[in-house]
């Protein structure tokens, strides 16, 4: 039976799962960027850029309304901003872990607010941080052209509810991108499984000094629906053109979909 949503150890229901996930990411926020880059050998930077380029047609439109939800410390947000024109509508970057969001805002906030000496910096594209739960977005319906999320969707307490909420706030014709880990098959999958379940938690524990978060990571990926099931879940939520593009032998991949223009 497929998991309905994230269930960290000790979480009995959706409410306690959400609290546990928030506390987990609050606790590792200071070392989050370092750990991500070390544990992925910097391949994660390629994933951010590749995912952003997939939506270049939306991002180059100055008026496009874009949300990066579960933005963490803002790596995907920064990749999106590189494709935005000067004077573009600010990207919304949302997360419910305040410590993560605070660190992200230091990267993607308005340049002039950080004392830039370059007068043209005030016209540079930037993002606005919003403390927001992906299951209860503080946005009106049919208000966004694009929603993206990277390595955060699998942490939602209810996957179907998350997709329905994304559908609600997307305009007809709006696009969705979900970058997530997956479990590759074959010999590569076996080798990666050893690294992911044994080596990665040990490195995370050594750098971060905390045990739970990097033990939770392989468990959460193992419990997440496989690509075909995730694509079908997106279809049931009402999306069309649902697809999955594997990255780096299927270690990660980008789910894409669109809210229909006509229902």
> What is the per-residue pLDDT for 192?
79
Helices (H), 91-226: 98-108, 159-169, 186-194, 200-208, 212-223
Dihedral of the CA atoms 150, 127, 74, 225 (nearest 10)?
A: -10
Query: Would you say residue 109 lies in a domain?
Result: yes
The partner residues of 150 in beta bridges, in order of sequence, read: 179
Length of the chain: 263
- Count of CB atoms situated within 10 Å of the CB of 140: 9
pLDDT reported for residue 110: 87
- Closest C-alpha among 81, 74, 82 to residue 151: 74
The residue with tokens 């799962």 is 17
The CATH number of whichever domain residue 108 belongs to comes to 3.40.50.150
If one counts the domains in the chain, the total is 1
pLDDT of residue 80: 98
Mean pLDDT of successive 10-residue stretches along the chain, which has 263 residues: 78 86 84 73 89 98 98 95 97 95 93 51 89 97 98 94 98 98 84 80 72 74 92 98 95 96 80
Measure the CA–CA gap between 117 and 106, rounded to whole angstroms: 17
Q: Is position 7 within any domain?
A: no
pLDDT score at 164? 98
Reduce the DSSP state of residue 254 to 3 states and report it.
strand
Q: What residue numbers bound the domain in which 159 lies?
A: 14-258
Q: pTM score > 0.95 for this model?
A: no
Q: What is the pLDDT of residue 140?
A: 97
Query: In the prediction, which pLDDT does 211 show?
Result: 61
Within a domain: residue 6? no
Decide if 2 is inside a domain: no
Task: Work out the widest C-alpha separation in the chain, in whole angstroms.
Answer: 56
Concatenated DSSP letters of 109-123: S-GGGGT-S-GGGGG
């Amino acid at each position: 039976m497929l998991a309905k949503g994230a269930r960290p150890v000790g979480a009995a229901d959706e409410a306690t799962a959400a609290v546990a996930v928030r506390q987990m990411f609050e606790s590792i926020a200071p070392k989050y960027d370092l750990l991500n880059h070390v544990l992925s050998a910097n391949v994660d930077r390629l994933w951010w850029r590749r995912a952003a380029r997939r939506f270049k047609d939306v991002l180059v439109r100055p008026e496009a309304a874009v949300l990066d939800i579960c933005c963490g410390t803002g790596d995907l947000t920064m990749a999106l901003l590189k494709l935005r024109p000067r004077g573009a509508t600010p990207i919304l970057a949302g997360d419910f872990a305040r410590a993560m969001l605070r660190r992200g805002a230091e990267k993607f906030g308005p340049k002039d607010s950080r004392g830039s000496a370059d007068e043209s910096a005030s016209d540079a594209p930037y993002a606005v941080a919003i403390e927001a739960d992906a299951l209860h977005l503080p946005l009106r319906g049919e208000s966004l052209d694009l929603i993206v999320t990277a390595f955060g969707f699998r942490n939602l307490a209810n996957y179907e509810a998350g997709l329905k909420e994304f559908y609600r706030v997307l305009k007809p014709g709006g696009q969705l991108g979900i970058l997530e880990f997956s479990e590759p098959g074959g010999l590569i999958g076996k080798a990666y499984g050893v690294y992911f379940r044994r080596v990665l938690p040990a490195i995370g524990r050594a750098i971060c000094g905390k045990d739970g978060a990097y033990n939770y990571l392989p468990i959460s990926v193992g419990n997440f629906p496989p690509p075909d099931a995730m694509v079908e879940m997106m279809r049931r939520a009402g999306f069309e053109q649902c697809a999955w593009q594997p990255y780096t032998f299927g270690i990660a991949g980008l789910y894409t979909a669109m809210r229909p223009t006509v229902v």
